[in-house]
């Protein structure tokens, strides 16, 4: 009897902790990037997480309920409970506990297959608005953003108009890293000598936290940036503001920037070396001929690892 009370107490405690955790997550969800999406990709990914979780709870919740019921019904003090251990020939129960999990697995598999194609980060977003291209370079330990169409560059700050498709082209001039703006899209890897892609579209104005999602050394914890979605008018004004900067991103300045440094502040460059992104990638394609200066750009390969969530 004493052991049964302990079991029931433990079950009730686990259930209480589960409820408290659920409400804590629900109440604080506005501060959790993944569960407070501000982009169409992040919104689809959040819905996918919720759908998969609810499907799995179809099995999990009955298991915990039956655990409490069985523990109570077949306690030592309940002499009226009927002991019937021979259920191996019960066809109805066999059908139930094989059919339901099978249906859930098939459903999850279908959803996963479909979402893997729909949320492919390399897949351009359909829109009537002209997209903007931003080239991203992961350095030790900061993020460089190059705007080839506007001929400007920034460090640890990126801005773009809302409701406008943003085509990120991502590489690294440092150890392998991972580019992630949780409220706008899933993470994708940045690797030296490789050109990966990420397509996003913000559905509201605001400043969103961006970070490195892959440990890359001593300055990893400070490798953060701000992604700002604004109106088209505000974006145009910001571009003009950046063009007033006295700094220019020449090859010489880039080589200085690429040196290891921690907790870098936001920096603006009024212009960037022509074809700089391609030169950064191609200097890793012929390592035997590599030199301190970057080589001329050639065709860039499109390859690399990707992650949807």
Residue 194: pLDDT band (50, 70, 90) is: very high
Residue-range domains of the chain with CATH = 2-77+89-118 (1.10.287), 132-289 (2.60.40.420)
Say whether pLDDT at 148 is over 50.
yes
Mean pLDDT of the 25-30 span: 50
For residue 195, pLDDT over 70 is answered with yes
Pick from 11-25, 136-150, 230-244: least confident: 11-25
In this predicted structure, the answer to whether residue 193 has a pLDDT above a threshold of 50 is: yes
Contact 285, 195 (CB under 8 A): no
Q: What is the mean pLDDT of the chain?
A: 85
> Do the beta carbons of residue 36 and residue 47 sit within 8 Å?
no
| Cα 307 versus chain centre, distance | 7
Q: Look at residue 237 in the predicted model and tell me its pLDDT.
A: 97
Confidence of residue 308 (pLDDT cuts 50, 70, 90): very low
pLDDT tens sequence across 166-175 = 999 999 999 9
Asked if 200 and 166 touch (Cβ cutoff 8 Å), the reply is yes
pLDDT value at position 21? 61
Least confident residue range of 30-44, 110-124, 177-191, 294-308: 294-308
Which ranges constitute the DSSP H helices of the chain?
Answer: 2-27, 40-73, 91-118, 232-243, 251-257, 276-282
pLDDT digits (tens, 9 = 90+) for 37-59: 999 999 999 999 999 999 989 88
Cβ contacts of 25 within 8 Å, gap of 6 or more: 32, 35
Label residue 1 by pLDDT band (50, 70, 90).
low
């Amino acid at each position: 009897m004493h052991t049964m009370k302990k079991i029931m107490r433990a079950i009730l405690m686990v259930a209480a902790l589960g409820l408290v955790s659920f409400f804590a997550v629900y109440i604080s969800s506005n501060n959790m990037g993944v569960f407070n999406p501000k982009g169409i990709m992040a919104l689809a990914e959040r819905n996918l997480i919720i759908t998969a979780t609810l499907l799995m709870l179809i099995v999990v919740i009955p298991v915990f309920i039956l655990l409490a019921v069985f523990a109570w019904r077949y306690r030592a003090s309940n002499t009226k409970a009927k002991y019937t251990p021979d259920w191996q020939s019960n066809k109805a129960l066999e059908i139930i506990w094989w059919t339901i999990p099978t249906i859930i697995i098939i459903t999850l598999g279908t959803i996963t297959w479909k979402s893997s194609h729909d949320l492919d980060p390399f897949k351009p977003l359909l829109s009537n608005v002209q997209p903007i291209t931003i080239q991203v370079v992961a350095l030790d330990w900061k993020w460089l953003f190059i705007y080839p169409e506007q001929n400007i560059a920034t460090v640890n700050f990126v801005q773009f108009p809302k409701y406008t498709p943003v085509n990120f082209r991502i590489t690294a001039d440092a150890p392998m890293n991972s580019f992630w703006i949780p409220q706008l899209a899933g993470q994708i890897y940045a690797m030296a000598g490789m050109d990966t892609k990420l397509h996003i579209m913000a559905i509201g104005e605001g400043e969103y936290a961006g970070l490195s999602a892959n440990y890359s050394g001593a300055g990893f914890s400070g490798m953060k940036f701000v992604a700002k979605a604004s109106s088209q008018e505000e974006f145009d004004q910001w571009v003009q503001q950046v063009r007033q900067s006295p700094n220019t991103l020449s090859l010489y300045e880039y080589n200085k920037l690429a040196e290891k440094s921690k907790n870098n502040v936001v920096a603006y460059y009024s212009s960037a070396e022509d074809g700089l992104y391609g030169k950064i990638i191609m200097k890793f394609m012929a390592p035997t001929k590599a030199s301190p200066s970057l080589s001329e750009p050639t065709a860039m390969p499109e390859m690399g690892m990707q992650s949807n969530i």
